[in-house]
């Protein structure tokens, strides 16, 4: 703990009772940028070195869902909900020419439904209720959580598994409960305790996943609506 405090004081001395020195402050900020960029790159490199095969398997599972008329549902909390929304938009509104729109639904997009369920049943049920209403067998569900311990995601994964859906998790740290749950078919874990580095790697994962899925669907593009 003392080592961490010392490191922070060296990087940001003006935050720990010392007077600001503009030159040293700027040098500290530049060094902070350099270190964070290196950490972000190192986390991504470590993840893809360990999980390339898993990522291809997940892409194959998703491509199979779409090729048989299934849909993708996404979910997350806080910053991870922003990522879940981003995943859904990528599949619905592909920015690359010639790639078809694929049905993807952000389960957290309907705030009226979310607040109604949260008020009446509790926040743990907000994704389960929407999934019951909208999901079908052979659809897919992606859930993102930096800790892997979000109860509302775990409940939704369990329900999705019961319904016969493909279940995909993106987590961080040690994967938490998501990595241990039998309700997930696939769980991609970014092994760092930095929430920011986890989320940055999640962005890279789902962009690559999106690209892989479209590559796998290339032979059937003529049958899919653009």
Mean of the pLDDT values across residues 142-162? 98
**For the chain, what are the domain ranges?**
51-223
Helix (H, G, I), strand (E, B) or coil at 138: coil
Topology classification of domain 51-223: Rossmann fold (3.40.50)
Instruction: Assign residue 180 a region (left: φ > 0; alpha: ψ between -120 and 50; beta: otherwise).
Output: alpha
Q: Is residue 161 over pLDDT 70?
A: yes
Q: What are phi and psi of 192, to 5 degrees?
A: -150, 155
Question: Is the pLDDT confidence value at 224 over 50?
Answer: no
Q: What is the pLDDT of residues 23-58, one digit of tens each?
A: 888 888 999 999 999 999 999 999 999 999 999 999
Residue 20 has pLDDT above 80, yes or no: no
């Amino acid at each position: 703990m003392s080592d961490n405090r010392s490191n922070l004081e060296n990087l940001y001395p003006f935050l720990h009772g010392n007077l600001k020195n503009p030159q040293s402050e700027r040098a500290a900020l530049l060094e902070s940028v350099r270190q964070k960029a290196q950490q972000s790159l190192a986390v991504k490199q470590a993840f893809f070195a360990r999980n390339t095969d898993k990522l291809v398997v997940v892409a194959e599972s998703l491509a199979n869902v779409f090729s048989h008329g299934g849909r993708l549902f996404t979910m997350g909390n806080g910053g991870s909900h922003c990522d879940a929304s981003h995943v859904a938009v990528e599949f619905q509104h592909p920015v690359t020419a010639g790639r078809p729109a694929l049905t993807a639904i952000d389960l957290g997009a309907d705030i009226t439904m979310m607040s109604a369920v949260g008020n009446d049943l509790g926040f743990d049920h907000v994704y389960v209720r929407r999934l019951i209403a909208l999901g079908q067998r052979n659809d897919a569900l992606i859930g993102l959580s930096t800790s892997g311990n979000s109860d509302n995601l775990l409940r939704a994964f369990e329900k999705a598994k019961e319904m016969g859906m493909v279940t995909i998790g993106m987590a961080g740290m040690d994967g938490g409960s998501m990595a241990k749950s039998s309700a997930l078919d696939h769980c991609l874990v970014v092994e760092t305790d930095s929430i920011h580095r986890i989320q940055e790697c999640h962005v890279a994962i789902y962009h690559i996943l999106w690209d892989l899925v479209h590559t796998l669907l290339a032979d059937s593009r003529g049958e899919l609506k653009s």
